[in-house]
A and B are shown apart, each in its own frame.
Chain A
Amino acid sequence: MSTTTGTVPTVGAPTSTTTTSTASSSGVSGEGVHHHVQSASQIANVAQLLPLELVDKCIGSRIHVIMKTDKEIVGNLLGFDDYVNMVLDDVTEFETTQDGGSRITKLDQILLNGNHIAMLVPGGEGPNMGGVGDQR
Protein backbone atom coordinates (compact mmCIF):
# COMPACT_ATOMS: atom_id res chain seq x y z
CA MET A 1 0.00 0.00 0.00
CA SER A 2 1.24 3.43 -0.70
CA THR A 3 0.92 5.65 2.27
CA THR A 4 3.53 8.15 1.45
CA THR A 5 4.28 10.40 4.31
CA GLY A 6 6.98 12.51 3.01
CA THR A 7 8.06 15.76 1.68
CA VAL A 8 7.98 16.30 -2.01
CA PRO A 9 7.37 12.85 -3.32
CA THR A 10 8.91 12.13 -6.62
CA VAL A 11 6.50 9.43 -7.46
CA GLY A 12 7.83 6.97 -9.96
CA ALA A 13 4.49 6.20 -11.47
CA PRO A 14 3.25 9.24 -13.29
CA THR A 15 0.14 10.60 -11.75
CA SER A 16 -1.08 12.36 -14.81
CA THR A 17 -4.45 11.76 -16.27
CA THR A 18 -4.96 8.07 -16.57
CA THR A 19 -8.17 6.61 -17.77
CA THR A 20 -8.78 3.24 -16.30
CA SER A 21 -11.86 1.97 -17.95
CA THR A 22 -12.68 -1.27 -16.30
CA ALA A 23 -14.07 -3.21 -19.18
CA SER A 24 -14.98 -6.87 -19.02
CA SER A 25 -17.16 -6.15 -16.08
CA SER A 26 -20.51 -7.71 -15.67
CA GLY A 27 -22.24 -4.79 -17.35
CA VAL A 28 -24.82 -4.44 -14.67
CA SER A 29 -25.89 -1.10 -15.93
CA GLY A 30 -25.47 0.11 -19.43
CA GLU A 31 -23.20 2.91 -18.48
CA GLY A 32 -19.48 2.78 -18.47
CA VAL A 33 -17.52 4.41 -15.74
CA HIS A 34 -14.23 5.99 -16.49
CA HIS A 35 -12.02 6.84 -13.63
CA HIS A 36 -9.84 9.79 -14.22
CA VAL A 37 -7.11 9.88 -11.71
CA GLN A 38 -5.90 13.37 -12.15
CA SER A 39 -3.83 15.13 -9.65
CA ALA A 40 -4.20 18.84 -9.83
CA SER A 41 -0.77 19.40 -8.52
CA GLN A 42 1.63 16.63 -9.08
CA ILE A 43 3.75 17.74 -6.23
CA ALA A 44 1.53 17.51 -3.19
CA ASN A 45 -1.76 15.68 -2.61
CA VAL A 46 -0.58 12.17 -3.17
CA ALA A 47 -2.71 10.90 -0.29
CA GLN A 48 -6.00 11.88 -1.85
CA LEU A 49 -9.10 9.93 -1.05
CA LEU A 50 -10.89 8.68 -4.12
CA PRO A 51 -14.66 8.48 -3.97
CA LEU A 52 -14.81 4.75 -4.42
CA GLU A 53 -12.21 4.33 -1.74
CA LEU A 54 -14.50 6.13 0.61
CA VAL A 55 -17.32 3.82 -0.33
CA ASP A 56 -15.05 0.88 0.17
CA LYS A 57 -14.26 2.06 3.66
CA CYS A 58 -17.94 1.94 4.44
CA ILE A 59 -18.23 -1.73 3.76
CA GLY A 60 -19.51 -3.39 6.87
CA SER A 61 -20.99 -0.26 8.34
CA ARG A 62 -24.16 1.70 8.07
CA ILE A 63 -24.68 3.79 4.99
CA HIS A 64 -27.40 6.13 3.91
CA VAL A 65 -28.18 6.27 0.23
CA ILE A 66 -30.04 9.21 -1.25
CA MET A 67 -31.66 8.62 -4.60
CA LYS A 68 -32.37 11.07 -7.32
CA THR A 69 -36.03 10.87 -6.43
CA ASP A 70 -37.54 11.49 -3.01
CA LYS A 71 -36.33 8.23 -1.66
CA GLU A 72 -33.62 7.31 0.78
CA ILE A 73 -32.32 3.96 1.79
CA VAL A 74 -30.37 3.06 4.89
CA GLY A 75 -28.59 -0.21 5.36
CA ASN A 76 -25.39 -2.04 6.07
CA LEU A 77 -23.13 -1.96 3.08
CA LEU A 78 -22.05 -5.42 2.04
CA GLY A 79 -20.48 -4.56 -1.25
CA PHE A 80 -20.61 -2.64 -4.44
CA ASP A 81 -19.26 -2.76 -7.93
CA ASP A 82 -17.85 -0.44 -10.56
CA TYR A 83 -21.22 1.09 -11.27
CA VAL A 84 -21.92 1.56 -7.58
CA ASN A 85 -24.69 -0.93 -7.62
CA MET A 86 -24.84 -1.76 -3.94
CA VAL A 87 -25.66 -4.78 -1.90
CA LEU A 88 -27.18 -3.72 1.39
CA ASP A 89 -28.37 -5.58 4.44
CA ASP A 90 -31.05 -4.85 7.01
CA VAL A 91 -32.50 -2.13 4.88
CA THR A 92 -34.98 0.59 5.69
CA GLU A 93 -36.54 2.56 2.91
CA PHE A 94 -37.75 6.12 3.39
CA GLU A 95 -40.03 8.09 1.16
CA THR A 96 -39.27 11.67 1.95
CA THR A 97 -42.22 13.42 0.48
CA GLN A 98 -44.20 15.90 2.49
CA ASP A 99 -47.28 13.73 2.76
CA GLY A 100 -45.67 10.36 3.06
CA GLY A 101 -42.76 9.78 5.32
CA SER A 102 -43.49 6.16 5.18
CA ARG A 103 -40.88 3.73 6.25
CA ILE A 104 -40.75 0.34 4.69
CA THR A 105 -38.39 -1.94 6.49
CA LYS A 106 -37.02 -4.84 4.56
CA LEU A 107 -34.75 -7.44 6.00
CA ASP A 108 -32.23 -9.62 4.30
CA GLN A 109 -30.35 -8.24 1.40
CA ILE A 110 -31.10 -5.95 -1.45
CA LEU A 111 -29.31 -5.12 -4.63
CA LEU A 112 -29.76 -1.43 -5.23
CA ASN A 113 -29.43 -0.22 -8.78
CA GLY A 114 -26.68 2.34 -8.97
CA ASN A 115 -28.34 4.20 -11.80
CA HIS A 116 -30.51 6.19 -9.47
CA ILE A 117 -28.18 6.89 -6.63
CA ALA A 118 -27.43 10.55 -6.07
CA MET A 119 -25.52 10.61 -2.83
CA LEU A 120 -24.00 8.32 -0.26
CA VAL A 121 -23.64 9.23 3.39
CA PRO A 122 -21.41 6.95 5.43
CA GLY A 123 -22.78 6.19 8.83
CA GLY A 124 -25.97 8.08 8.19
CA GLU A 125 -29.15 7.04 9.87
CA GLY A 126 -31.69 8.40 7.47
CA PRO A 127 -34.03 11.32 7.50
CA ASN A 128 -35.77 12.33 10.67
CA MET A 129 -34.37 9.65 12.85
CA GLY A 130 -33.56 10.85 16.31
CA GLY A 131 -36.37 13.17 17.09
CA VAL A 132 -34.79 16.49 16.46
CA GLY A 133 -36.14 17.11 13.04
CA ASP A 134 -38.02 19.83 11.37
CA GLN A 135 -41.73 19.26 11.51
CA ARG A 136 -43.80 19.98 8.52
Chain B
Amino acid sequence: MFTIFLLFIMTTRKQTPSEFLKQIIGRPVVVKLNSGVDYRGVLACLDGYMNIVLEQTEEYVSGELKNKYGDAFIRGNNVLYISTQRKKI
Protein backbone atom coordinates (compact mmCIF):
# COMPACT_ATOMS: atom_id res chain seq x y z
CA MET B 1 0.00 0.00 0.00
CA PHE B 2 2.57 2.46 1.09
CA THR B 3 4.83 1.41 -1.69
CA ILE B 4 2.20 2.29 -4.20
CA PHE B 5 1.46 5.52 -2.43
CA LEU B 6 5.10 6.41 -2.35
CA LEU B 7 5.57 5.48 -5.97
CA PHE B 8 2.72 7.76 -6.84
CA ILE B 9 4.23 10.56 -4.85
CA MET B 10 7.62 10.03 -6.34
CA THR B 11 6.41 9.95 -9.88
CA THR B 12 4.66 13.24 -9.44
CA ARG B 13 7.54 14.69 -7.49
CA LYS B 14 10.10 13.40 -9.91
CA GLN B 15 9.17 16.19 -12.26
CA THR B 16 10.37 18.90 -10.03
CA PRO B 17 14.12 18.77 -10.60
CA SER B 18 13.74 18.06 -14.31
CA GLU B 19 11.13 20.79 -14.59
CA PHE B 20 13.52 23.11 -12.87
CA LEU B 21 16.24 22.20 -15.32
CA LYS B 22 14.05 23.03 -18.26
CA GLN B 23 13.05 26.35 -16.81
CA ILE B 24 16.46 27.70 -16.12
CA ILE B 25 18.03 27.28 -19.52
CA GLY B 26 19.12 30.66 -20.80
CA ARG B 27 19.24 32.26 -17.39
CA PRO B 28 22.31 33.44 -15.55
CA VAL B 29 23.20 30.84 -13.00
CA VAL B 30 25.69 30.09 -10.31
CA VAL B 31 27.16 26.62 -10.38
CA LYS B 32 29.04 25.48 -7.33
CA LEU B 33 31.29 22.50 -7.49
CA ASN B 34 32.23 20.09 -4.76
CA SER B 35 35.60 21.74 -4.58
CA GLY B 36 33.95 25.00 -3.63
CA VAL B 37 34.77 26.76 -6.87
CA ASP B 38 32.02 28.93 -8.18
CA TYR B 39 31.08 29.50 -11.79
CA ARG B 40 28.73 32.20 -12.93
CA GLY B 41 27.46 32.34 -16.43
CA VAL B 42 24.51 31.94 -18.70
CA LEU B 43 23.22 28.42 -18.83
CA ALA B 44 23.41 27.17 -22.39
CA CYS B 45 22.31 23.64 -21.78
CA LEU B 46 22.50 20.77 -19.38
CA ASP B 47 21.43 17.18 -19.09
CA GLY B 48 20.14 14.75 -16.53
CA TYR B 49 23.58 14.08 -15.17
CA MET B 50 23.99 17.75 -14.35
CA ASN B 51 26.61 18.16 -17.04
CA ILE B 52 26.49 21.87 -17.75
CA VAL B 53 27.46 24.18 -20.54
CA LEU B 54 27.88 27.81 -19.57
CA GLU B 55 28.54 30.87 -21.65
CA GLN B 56 30.37 34.00 -20.53
CA THR B 57 31.66 32.14 -17.55
CA GLU B 58 33.41 33.66 -14.60
CA GLU B 59 35.28 31.50 -12.18
CA TYR B 60 35.32 32.48 -8.53
CA VAL B 61 37.68 30.82 -6.14
CA SER B 62 37.11 31.79 -2.51
CA GLY B 63 34.93 34.61 -3.65
CA GLU B 64 37.52 36.11 -5.92
CA LEU B 65 37.28 36.28 -9.66
CA LYS B 66 39.97 34.15 -11.12
CA ASN B 67 39.21 33.43 -14.74
CA LYS B 68 36.84 34.16 -17.50
CA TYR B 69 35.85 31.67 -20.12
CA GLY B 70 33.79 32.11 -23.22
CA ASP B 71 32.33 28.65 -23.00
CA ALA B 72 32.67 26.16 -20.23
CA PHE B 73 31.69 22.54 -19.92
CA ILE B 74 31.32 21.20 -16.43
CA ARG B 75 31.04 17.52 -15.77
CA GLY B 76 28.02 16.75 -13.70
CA ASN B 77 29.58 14.61 -11.04
CA ASN B 78 31.43 17.66 -9.73
CA VAL B 79 28.36 19.80 -9.36
CA LEU B 80 27.14 20.57 -5.88
CA TYR B 81 24.31 22.85 -6.88
CA ILE B 82 22.93 25.00 -9.65
CA SER B 83 21.40 28.26 -8.57
CA THR B 84 19.55 30.91 -10.46
CA GLN B 85 20.07 34.53 -9.63
CA ARG B 86 17.12 36.66 -8.99
CA LYS B 87 17.49 40.19 -10.20
CA LYS B 88 17.08 42.66 -7.42
CA ILE B 89 15.16 45.71 -8.46
Residues of A that sit less than 8 Å from B by CB:
1-2, 4, 11, 13, 18, 20, 22, 25-30, 35, 37, 46, 48, 50, 52-53, 56, 59, 67, 69, 71, 73, 78-82, 85-87, 91, 106-113, 115-116
Contacts and interface: CB of A to CB of B under 8 A. Distances in A.
Interface string B18-48: 1111001000001000100000000000001
Contacts of A52: 6, 9-10
Interface of B: 1-3, 5-7, 9-11, 13-21, 24, 30, 34, 48-50, 77, 79-86, 88
7 contacts: A13-B1, A28-B48, A69-B34, A79-B20, A107-B85, A109-B20, A110-B82
Given A109-B20, A109-B84, A111-B81, A22 B10 contact: yes
B17 A111 contact: yes
B82 A111 contact: yes
B18 A28 contact: yes
B81 to A, nearest CB: 5
Does more than half of chain A's interface fall in helix, strand or loop, or is it mixed? mixed
B5 A81 contact: no
B62 to A, nearest CB: 10
A77 to B, nearest CB: 10
Contacts, number: 111
A20 B4 CA distance: 10
A22 B48 CA distance: 15
A34 B20 CA distance: 24
A79 B17 contact: yes
- Pick from A13, A28, A37 the residue with the most CB of B within 10 Å: A28
